[in-house]
Amino acid sequence: MKAYVFPGQGAQAPGMGRDLFDSSDKAREMFAAADEILGFSITDIMFEGDADALRATDVTQPAVFLHSVVAAACSDIRPDMVAGHSLGEFSALVAAGALTFEDGLRLVALRAAAMQKACELNPGTMAAIVAGEESVIRECCKEVEGIVVPANFNCDSQIVISGENEAVAAACALIKERGAKRALPLKVGGAFHSPLMEPARAELAEAIDRTPFASPRCPVYQNVDALPHTDAGEIRANLLMQLTSPVLWTQTVRNMVADGAASFTEVGPGTVLQGLVKKISPESEITGLS
């Protein structure tokens, strides 16, 4: 069985999507439609902007989503199962036919704007813990003052924590004291997948509620529980919970393999998920499509 996975925020890079635009009429049509839907030229920023211009949440998320769904559409993929890392879950839903490209882009743009507002209201950050014990990381997050939680279970050797700036710094120091190899601050706009994103919930809930969802053509393995979903109602609820819940990526990949995934293809910019899949399931075939 063929599994397709879609990257999230952090996969962006200057020039992203330009090759698709130059080589495909369908891609050019989709990029033009995106500029119109968003009300600004996302393509100019993707093709000509520098890394700083691409880093803002309200630019990054539509850009990564757009690159991924255009790459999928131009290759006419036929997945047996899909999953996406955080933002990438929206790309996966489009690829599986649960969301239209247009509705997916509108949701992503609104989600990004709502998260940006939450970041400004509740400043925070994230840090990657390398080679730390999961139980130790959880304990340290509970022990320090302030809000800090495990946010991304990327693979056995990398767990990302998220929360208030001082709490994250304190947790990093404590986790390193207790044996982690490294604790690396991430260049992100805020504390994603933590309680600090709660202000974005109401706005996203309203948007998800008014957006039509169809039953996907194949199972969508969602971040909040790492399980396959085909029910539109469940998919809606899980998308909303994802805002403040951890991304269970390690278990997602393991569940996809257990359910028959023989190969994984990362669709979109970058190679981050290819690296993670190799660490989680070394025996799996993994390729990229960008």
pLDDT value at position 56? 83
Active-site option among 86, 91, 162, 281: 86
Is there a single domain that holds both residue 201 and residue 59?
yes
Q: Is 91 part of a structural domain of the chain? A: yes
Q: Is 190 part of a structural domain of the chain? A: no
State the average pLDDT for the chain.
96
Is there a single domain that holds both residue 132 and residue 162?
yes
Is there a single domain that holds both residue 43 and residue 115?
yes
pTM over 0.85, yes/no: yes
Q: Is 166 part of a structural domain of the chain? A: yes
Question: What letter does residue 153 receive in the DSSP assignment?
Answer: E
Instruction: Report the domain count for the chain.
Output: 2
Is there a single domain that holds both residue 154 and residue 220?
no
Half-sphere exposure of 90 (CA within 13 A, CB side): 31
Q: In this structure, are residues 157 and 130 in contact, taking their beta carbons and an 8 Å threshold? A: yes
Task: Identify whether 281 is a catalytic site residue.
Answer: no
Is there a single domain that holds both residue 111 and residue 137?
no
Angle at 117 between CA 97 and CA 162, to 5 degrees: 80
Q: Is 173 part of a structural domain of the chain? A: yes
> Strands 285-289 and 158-163, how do they pair?
unpaired
Q: In this structure, are residues 284 and 66 in contact, taking their beta carbons and an 8 Å threshold? A: no
Task: Identify whether 85 is a catalytic site residue.
Answer: no
pLDDT value at position 215? 96
Is there a single domain that holds both residue 92 and residue 226?
yes
Q: Is 209 part of a structural domain of the chain? A: yes
pLDDT value at position 30? 97
Calculate the alpha carbon distances from 90 to 93, 186, 213, 238 in Å. 5, 23, 11, 11
Active-site option among 162, 193, 245, 281: 193
Is there a single domain that holds both residue 44 and residue 180?
no
Is there a single domain that holds both residue 7 and residue 105?
yes
Q: Is 255 part of a structural domain of the chain? A: yes
> What confidence tier does 76 reach under pLDDT thresholds 50, 70, 90?
confident
CATH of the domain at 277: 3.40.366.10
Q: Is 213 part of a structural domain of the chain? A: yes
CATH of the domain at 170: 3.30.70.250
Supply the DSSP string of 51-62, one letter for each residue. Answer: HHHHHSHHHHHH
Place of tokens 């757009």: 66
**Nearest Cα residue to 247 out of 256, 259, 238:** 238
Is there a single domain that holds both residue 115 and residue 129?
no
- Between CA 95 and CA 4 the distance in angstroms is 9
pLDDT tens digits, residue range 107-131? 999 999 999 999 999 999 999 999 9
Domain extent for 36: 2-120+195-289
Q: Is 46 part of a structural domain of the chain? A: yes
pLDDT of 94 > 90? The answer is yes
> What confidence tier does 192 reach under pLDDT thresholds 50, 70, 90?
very high
Is there a single domain that holds both residue 200 and residue 181?
no
Beta bridge partners of residue 163, listed in sequence order:
125, 148
Which of 155, 185, 215 is the last residue before a domain boundary? 185
Is there a single domain that holds both residue 12 and residue 116?
yes
Is there a single domain that holds both residue 230 and residue 100?
yes
